[in-house]
Amino acid sequence: MSPNPLAHRDLKTANILLDKNFNPILMDLGSTAKARLEIQTVVEARKLEETAAERSSMPYRAPELFNIPSRTSIDERTDVWVMRMTMISFKLV
């Protein structure tokens, strides 16, 4: 968590396994990156969009990773949105 928290950025039902006690285990960490990013330019924004498109599944990608403004902050809330969608898939909410 500190000083550089990470975001998975591709949480989905297929990337969550359960152990024998039904504890979740995250897998497929290929899209994991620093959670907190300060986007300052159009080039940085487009690069992050391209990375998200390459490494995370479209239906589970947080909305803020589709059309990133040139001056914005991206943080671990991208995984919170995805976890909500995953929980709906599991019918846990």
**Residues catalogued as catalytic:** 10
Nearest Cα to 6, choosing from 53, 59, 56, 74?
74
Specify the residue for token string 């949480």.
11
Specify the residue for token string 């330019």.
41
3-state secondary structure of 13: helix
| β-strand pairing of 72-74 with 16-18 | unpaired
Specify the residue for token string 């000083």.
3
**Bridge partners, 57 (sequence order):** none
